[in-house]
Structure 1
C-alpha cells in the first residue's frame, strides 16, 4: 500500500465494515479483460459469500480462473479544505483477494442463504429457509441458485476518517472556513 498512513489494521473494524456493507464488486479475469460485477454478499467465518444463477458468464469465468477479488467501499462524505488540492474524501475500503470455491453442500448453502436473508431482509420471514427450497428453487430462466465462497489469501483495508468539523455540506463556503 503506497499510503501506509491510510492503512487500517484494526481487525474488529474491518470485520464490522464487511459484516455491514451492502455491496461489493467482484473482480474476475475473463481472458485478457477484467470482469467486475456488483454483488450482495455476506462476510462469515473469515470468508465472503455470494449467490447467483448457476449459469452464465460470471460462472463460466469463475470456472476458468478461480482467482478473484472483492472490493468493498463506502464514501462517508467530502472533506472541505480552503486549499483546493487538499479537498478529500472520507472513506473506508477493503480488498479481499483469494480463490473461488463453489458451495455444493446443501446444508452449507442453506446456511449461507439464510444469513443473506438475515442481512438484507431481517425479520421478514417467520420461518427459517428450508433446504428443500434451496435445492428445488429455479429462477424464471430455469437456473438453480449457486452459492459461492471467496476464500481470502489477503485482506487489505484503507480508511480516511471524517473530521466532522471539515465535512462539506450544501451551503458551506470557503468564506466560512477562513
Structure 2
C-alpha cells in the first residue's frame, strides 16, 4: 500500500503520530461491509504496545464484517478548528491501516480492558474491575495490527 502523502510537508513523524494516537479518545473504524459497501463507525479505542484496541459486543454487523474480511482502516482526528480566514481547517489526524484480530488470550483481554477503564474512567478503578469481571465474557476485544500509519497536521498558527 504505502502511498506517498500528497502534501508531504504536512506529514508528521512516526513518533508524533503515535503520540497523537495516545492523545485522542475516538476514531472511526472502516471495514468492508455488505454488498461491497464500506462500513464505518466511531469507536473509543486505546493504543497499546504498538496496536489499536477496541472493545465491543461480541455479536452484530461489525463482528460479522470483521470475520468476513480483516482488512481495516482506523482514522483519528486529534484536533480540528475551522480557519475561516484561510478557507481551510487546522487539524491533526492519523490514519492507520491494518488487520483486525479477535483477541482470545485472557491475559491480553484483561490488560486491554483495564487500560480502557484507566483511560476512560480515571479514579474509578475499583468499580471498573467489577464491570470488567461482569462484562468481559461477552465482550469482543479487537486488535488492529497496524501495517501502515501516517499522521498529518496543518497548524498554521492557532491550533
Give the TM-score of the pair, scaled to structure 2. Answer: 0.88
Task: Determine the structure 2 residue equivalent to 1:98.
Answer: 98
Task: Determine the structure 2 residue equivalent to 1:137.
Answer: 135
Give 5+ residue unaligned stretches, structure 1. Answer: 168-178
User: How many correspondences in the alignment?
Assistant: 154
Is the Cα contact below 8 Å between 1:101 and 1:148 reproduced in 2? Answer: yes
| Residue deviations 1:117-168 (CA, integer Å, cap 9, x gap) | 11111111237737x81xx537xxxx8100000001100111001403xx7x
For the residue of structure 2 that corresponds to 1:126, the secondary structure is helix
The structure richer in helix per residue is 2
In the TM superposition, what are the counterparts of 1:3-152 in structure 2 within 5 Å? Answer: 3-9=7-13, 11-30=14-33, 31-81=35-85, 86-126=86-126, 129=129, 133=133, 137=135, 144-152=138-146
Is the Cα contact below 8 Å between 2:10 and 2:154 reproduced in 1? Answer: yes
The structure richer in strand per residue is 2
Give 5+ residue unaligned stretches, structure 2. Answer: none
Give the TM-score of the pair, scaled to structure 1. Answer: 0.79
4+ runs of 1 displaced by more than 2 Å? Answer: 78-81, 125-130
Is the Cα contact below 8 Å between 1:76 and 1:162 reproduced in 2? Answer: no
- Counterpart CA distance in 2 for 1:53 and 1:103 is 13
For the residue of structure 2 that corresponds to 1:109, the secondary structure is helix
Larger radius of gyration: 1
- Counterpart CA distance in 2 for 1:129 and 1:108 is 15
| Residue deviations 1:22-81 (CA, integer Å, cap 9, x gap) | 101000011410000110000011100000000111000000000001000133322243
Aligned Cα root-mean-square deviation (Å): 2.2
